[in-house]
Amino acid sequence: MPHLRVLVFQHAPYCPLEMFGDSLASDGILPTVVELNTGQAIPDLHKFDALIVLGGPMDVWQTDDNPWLIPEKAAIGTWVRDLKKPMLGVCLGHQLLADALGGEVRTATKPEGGLHDVVLNSAGLMHPLMNGFQPSKKAIMFHGCEVTRLPEGGVTLASTENCPISAFAVGNKAFGIQYHAEATDTLVEEWTDLVPGNTLVKQLHGRDGVEKVRRSVSEAMPELRSNAKTIFRNFMAIASDDYR
């Protein structure tokens, strides 16, 4: 079977594919990464089989400062509703998926920054995207906004203590995860060096919050790496079945 043609929407240099990129490389897949924040244009969607939309520091409604969000959301709508192709949205990508399809994203009641327990509900436990996971898994969270209303046809798959919609599906091909399944401890160090991430973590975890978060993420990396491979493989299996 030919390799899947993977399209990636990236929004910041410090929010890359990371561990998902490693998995793509091991499969011999060279994705087309569009750096939207630098002005790169969205290519012809018909030329691709799967879409991954990554995270970023902006919010879905900040279109004045980030005008490329407008065509991006239009492209996501076309991809999911019209072309009916598989998509995985991560953090901002999760929120963009909901927003583009008519859901709602607002400032989080309580932001999250650091390591959290993601708990699958009954729909999540039965869903192929979550195949192989226990009812609870560790995940890295860095977000100040959240999906507060799902688009039509959306189904919640998982939540955290503070975020009721941490993962959702729309139909059987489009998925959003609020957590950074792709992130490594090195990337978390970079995020917590940046002013927004550093401020958020200290706000949530105290003056020594950065050290606490870095340590907890580092200790959990074996599980986090396994989780990244599992959800990536599950998504690609769904996409491959569709491609066949």
- Catalytic center residues: 91, 180, 182
d(C-alpha 51, C-alpha 197), whole Å: 27
> What six digits make up the tokens of 38?
């630098």
E-strand spans in 4-54? 6-10, 32-35, 50-53
d(C-alpha 169, C-alpha 4), whole Å: 21
d(C-alpha 142, C-alpha 147), whole Å: 14
Is 49 within 8 Å of 4 (Cβ atoms)? yes
34 contacts: CB under 8 Å, gap ≥ 6: 7, 8, 9, 10, 40, 41, 42, 43
Q: Where are the alpha helices (DSSP H) in 85-147?
A: 92-100, 122-126
d(C-alpha 146, C-alpha 226), whole Å: 25
Can you tell me whether residue 12 is helix, strand or coil? coil
Cα–Cα–Cα angle for 21, 107, 102, rounded to 5 degrees: 75
Is 34 within 8 Å of 56 (Cβ atoms)? no
Burial of 180 (0-12, 13-18, 19+ CB in 10 A): buried
> What six digits make up the tokens of 13?
């240099």
